[in-house]
Amino acid sequence: MIDVFPPAFFFFIAAAIIPFLPQGIFRTLVLLFAPLVAGLYIFDLSHGVSSQIELAGLSLELMRVDKLSVVFGLIFCLASFLGNLYALHVRDSVQQIAALAYVGSAVGAVFAGDLVTLFLYWEGAAITSVFLIWARRTQGAYHSGMRYLIMQIASGVILLGGTVLLYRETGSIAFEAMTLSSFPTWLIFIAFGIKCAFPLLHNWVQDAYPAATVTGTVILSSFTTKLAVYALARGFPGTEILIYIGATMTLFPIFYAVIENDLRRVLAYSLNNQLGFMVVGVGVGTELALNGTAAHAVSHILYKSLLFMSVGAVLFRTGTAKATQLGGLYKSMPLTMIFCVIGCASISAFPFFSGFVTKSLILSGAAKEGYYVVWGILLFASACAFHYSGIKIPYFAFFSHDSGLRPKEAPTHMLWAMGITAALCIGVGVFPSVLYSLLPYEISYNAYSTTHVITQLQLLFFSALAFTVLLRAGIYPPMLKAVNLDFDWTYRKLLPTIFGSSASYVTRLWSAITLFGMAKIDRVISGLYRSHGPEGRMARVWPTGAMVLWIAIILTATMIVNFI
């Protein structure tokens, strides 16, 4: 029996009634009020509440309420509201239903108390989210969606396999802290890693997110990877290997983001970079670091949504997000430009913006535990984030040169969505104690210490100086109309080529062997035909005496064999 109503059901119910409502005010109310009602409901839940049901001999915990699940549930509901507000112009029922069901699955997963329930919501998020990619209805979006779906389903299958083996090993399906001490936990860890875009498993982000619709990309950026961060924080806190995985994640996207021409792909690489900070926080595993992971997930959802919204508004009005085709848009889209700059200031961790008060928690947690090299890597990655996101995005979209484009300002509802998100980015930066009060552990942290503020400003100013010098000297990598090769080249081009060539050689070898064998068989058949065919030796008439002799010989041989 369900004792507590799962908040995910608010979204599922809304998704179920959407098809029966006409386009207009009623759909708008459902799209906006469903996440608001769910958010208020989550905020009012008592910590420690649990709801269980019995199914097929298993005890499934549909609801486990604690501070970690609540903070992720609240930001997911807020992101859903902002995403739906941004997408009010959309008249596509598929996108509206998919968005609600996708968020419902993500919210359900963060409250799942066991691995089976987590798996059901995990796969629900994978299946529903792909329609936000396919909704663009292009050939490229279809293929990107298929590759995205394969990766997400693979993650779910591996999670299920790990859950089954863990149940056989321990008799428990509880979703709680684990260690990498057995094969089942390694499988679960890999499943989380795929969804979190670990290095070499990351390209589905850059492939799928820019291929989605303008509004679909905003929604996708908020949930899938952050759900994986939550799962790692819940399942593998303090797992040291995550520190080095996260540090790698902050570094490898830098080069690609600098040379990438498509601004939505730049943001996708930036997303990988910021996920690395959160993964490091999980790996450090202290209360300070885990608070930093949760806080930075909240902050990241806000400013990354804002950046995707602003670039999406440019794409919506101009039909392109390519840096080489944009520039000078501040003249006709000034509000979008301002909101974009606020998002860039947040991701760059400027004082009085959200990233400043959340990213520092993770850096402090790493330094406090003696991971000084990792701390230095994170500091360098933070400076680079300002370089390729904080400066590059607004510069090439709005200021670099006059492209001659004079599009209209973004639609009113998009401006409202961007304005609210921008206000939240500033509000979190100015009043961090409000966010800190929601974090999983009690915290006493002053982000605005003199040392921290001066250090961060020096980092930002020198990063801006480096960008300016490189640009003025003509050394900065030019924005080229090109496809940049990443690790996905190995499985999208190299491996198919190898398998295709191998298959060709095997086919030719098999054909040669088959022809040789058939020639030998034909020769034997021809010899038999010459002996036993209608004109063969065995076909002529034999005398009776000769036949009797042959029968006697065969009978004698048979008797000898029997007696031996």
Question: Can you give the pLDDT at residue 361?
Answer: 93
Question: Can you give the pLDDT at residue 176?
Answer: 92
Global pTM value: 0.87
The pLDDT-based confidence of 535 (bands split at 50, 70, 90) is low
Mean pLDDT of 517-539: 70
Structure-token match 């064999």, residue found: 561
391 vs 163 pLDDT, higher one: 163
Sign (positive/negative) of CA torsion 464, 465, 469, 475?
A: negative
Question: Would you state the structure tokens that stand for residue 391, as one six-digit string?
Answer: 């400066």
Percent of the chain with pLDDT over 70: 94
Reply yes or no on whether the pLDDT at 27 is more than 80. Answer: yes
Task: Pick the range with the lowest mean pLDDT from 218-232, 387-401, 477-491.
Answer: 477-491
Residue 558, amino acid? T
The pLDDT-based confidence of 2 (bands split at 50, 70, 90) is low
554 vs 296 pLDDT, higher one: 296
Mean pLDDT of 513-527: 80
36 vs 259 pLDDT, higher one: 36
- Cβ(299)–Cβ(231) below 8 Å: no
Q: What are the pLDDT digits (tens) for 307-321?
A: 999 999 999 999 998
Structure-token match 């100086």, residue found: 465
**In angstroms, what is the C-alpha Rg of the chain?**
32
Question: Would you state the structure tokens that stand for residue 89, as one six-digit string?
Answer: 């112009």
Partners of residue 54 on adjacent β-strands: 59
Reply yes or no on whether the pLDDT at 538 is more than 70. Answer: no
560 vs 138 pLDDT, higher one: 138
**63: phi then psi, degrees, rounded to nearest 5:** -135, 125
- Cβ(109)–Cβ(125) below 8 Å: yes
Percent of the chain with pLDDT over 90: 58
Mean pLDDT of 9-33: 93
Mean pLDDT score of the chain, rounded to an integer? 88
Nearest alpha carbon to residue 18 among 129, 109, 107, 98? 98
SS (H, E, C) 242-253: HHHHHHHHHHCH
Question: Can you give the pLDDT at residue 547?
Answer: 65
Q: What are the pLDDT digits (tens) for 118-151?
A: 999 999 999 999 999 999 999 999 999 999 999 9
Return the biggest CA–CA distance within the chain.
123
Residue 440: strand, helix, or coil = coil
Q: What are the pLDDT digits (tens) for 239-291?
A: 999 999 999 999 988 888 888 888 999 999 999 999 999 999 999 999 999 99
Sign (positive/negative) of CA torsion 127, 282, 108, 22?
A: negative
Q: What are the pLDDT digits (tens) for 485-511?
A: 777 777 777 778 888 788 888 888 888
Helices (H), 135-262: 139-170, 183-195, 203-208, 214-235, 241-251, 253-259
